[in-house]
Structure 1
Amino acid sequence: MRTHQLVLHWIEGQLSEGKLAVGGRLPAERTLAEQLKVSRTSVREAIRILEAMGVARAGVGSGPEAGTVVISDPTAALGSALRLHVATQHLPVSDIVETRVLLESWAAARAKADAPELEQAAALLDEMDAVGRAHKTADDFLALDVRFHLALADAAGNAVVSAMMGSLRESIQGYAARLTGHLPDWDATAARLGAEHREILAAIRNGDGERAAKLVAAHIEGYYREAGVGRTAEA
């Protein structure tokens, strides 16, 4: 085991045993190096890895913000990893879209009709309508679209599914935006997506999870099919 891995292993053990928790601080770099009998360089490397994984935030200087604090941001880490693997073309975008359909359909079927996140989702739909009336860019619409779908995921109350969905959407958000150039009429597509959003939200609020799941699947697949994902010419 490389020395920075020793540090990571120790920190994982501290978290598992409850000796470290979110909001807690790691020992000072020098203290940790002496305790584990590794170099301070190894400690710094381990902390950089933890930051990339969304498990720690390193502060500098002195005062309340100094030191390395334990955080929990799995979406950032998973999203970064997926984006890189999509860029290598090892993970086909069509497979990621299919996975997104599975997760979002599950979430829509189980979203709670009285979940407070649905109020946020409704407000985002109004913002999307305003974007359309102002003839703003597709990027503005898609940014709100991401937040709408994540709000629906959060309404299902499963933190792991929410994190995974956030990561999947983050990994293909840029790709989805680029696909708008393949659409014959973005304004028409945006209007259709907005109407579909409202149907999905209405089904969830009416307690019809089965209908909501089917609508979400058709909504996602329809956009990518219209934009050319899956066609031989786009493969």
Structure 2
Amino acid sequence: MPESTTRAWRTVLEHIETDLLEGRLGPGDRLPSERDLSADLGVGRSSVREALRVLEVMGLIRTATGSGPQAGAIVIATPTGGLSALLRLQVAAQGFPLADVVKTRLVLEDAVAAALAADPDRDTGEAHRILAAMDSEALTSGEFLALDAQLHLALAEASGNAVIAAMMAGLRTAIESYVQAGAEAIADWSVMAARLRAEHRALVAAIDAGDVESARELVRTHITGYYTAAGLTRAPSDRP
């Protein structure tokens, strides 16, 4: 694609992104027509179509041809939803190195635990519902770990930080794939499941008690402990 064309569709993308971020556009709103965007921004209609295609792939808009109330481009998600979709596409396309996933989880979930524990108005109701579901002895390792990922995402969403929640949602596929692979290397899954249940409950209890430092330490130990036990990463003492 020629550089001038690339700049043109990025101009359209940045214009729509700004309207979304500044609240001039939101879910349910209709974007201006291709003709109007082309005239207002001084770009070709092909550049407008390319920008809309990118936004649709990211899950931010829905486009429909024809005429009537359902035609044109309509916003269906906020920018955070688009971030999740973009990360999921990146994971699907090439994945992320495990070491990077672990480091990112430590940064994000440390912030989540601290924010929730420090918030007197926290709502951990969804986390408790997932904890109860994880108590079932009939769960396979795959089902258990899917609930595990759901629990961590629920805590991120409860933290109130929309960017962190979007990043955790986008990385969920990568997180699940690695923890599922690790489960195959664990000799006694029932013992590991009991350990994870206890760690989850201790973490949520620390958050509910408002103990910021304990919550941060528990989530970090929980994350690194599983990856180490599954042989996916080395223990801290084994690192040079």
**Residue equivalent to 1:115:** 122
Residue type of the alignment partner of 1:24: D
Q: Distance in 2 between matches of 1:22 and 1:16?
A: 12
1:114 CA drift (Å): 4.2
Alignment match of 1:127 (pick from 113, 122, 133): 133
- Measured in 2, the distance between the counterparts of 1:16 and 1:167 equals 19
1:215 aligned residue (218, 221, 229): 218
Among 170, 185, 198, the alignment partner of 1:195 is 198
3-state SS in 1 of match to 2:74? strand
Any conservation in 2 of the 1:113–1:204 contact (CA below 8 Å)? no
* Aligned partners of 1:108 and 1:212 also within 8 Å: yes
Question: Which of 148, 153, 157 lines up with 2:151 in the alignment?
Answer: 148
Pick one of 41, 47, 65 that aligns with 1:42.
47
**What does residue 80 of structure 1 align with?**
89
Structure 2 match to 1:102? 107
Distance 2:22 2:104 in 1: 33
Matched, 1:12 2:17: yes
Q: Which amino acid aligns with 1:12?
A: E
Asked if residue 52 in structure 1 is aligned to residue 61 in structure 2, the reply is no
8 Å contact kept, 1:100–1:169: no
SS in 1 for 2:134: helix
TM-aligned CA distance change 1:139 to 1:59, over 3 Å: farther
Q: Match for 2:100: what amino acid?
A: D
Match of 2:135, SS?
Answer: helix
What displacement does 1:200 show?
Answer: 0.6
Q: Deviations over 1:102-146 (max 9, x none)?
A: 211221122035422x1110011111112xx22x32221122111
Partner SS, residue 229 of structure 1: coil
Query: Using the alignment, how far apart are the partners of 2:24 and 2:211 within structure 1?
Result: 44
The CA RMSD over aligned residues, in Å, is 2.5
Secondary structure of 1:58's counterpart equals strand
TM-score when normalising by structure 1: 0.82
What percent identity do the matched residue pairs reach?
46
**One-letter code aligned to 1:115:** R
Whichever residue aligns with residue 87 of structure 2, its letter is L
1:80–1:171 contact (8 Å) kept in structure 2? no
Relative distance call for 1:63 and 1:187 in structure 2 (3 A) is farther
Counterpart of 2:28 (choices 23, 28, 33) is: 23
Distance 1:62 1:226 in 2: 58
Relative distance call for 1:81 and 1:190 in structure 2 (3 A) is same
Letter in 2 for 1:186: W
Which residue of structure 2 aligns with residue 176 of structure 1? 179
Deviation larger for 13-22 or 215-224? 13-22
| 196-205 or 46-55, which deviates more | 46-55
2:72 partner amino acid: G
Q: 1:137 to 1:29 in 2, by over 3 A?
A: farther
**CA 1:32/1:146 → structure 2, altered by over 3 Å: closer, same or farther?**
same
Residues 1:31 and 1:143: Cα distance change in structure 2 (over 3 Å): same
Matched to 1:120, the amino acid is: E
Larger deviation: 5-14 or 176-185?
A: 5-14
Structure 2 alignment gaps of length 5 or more: 235-240
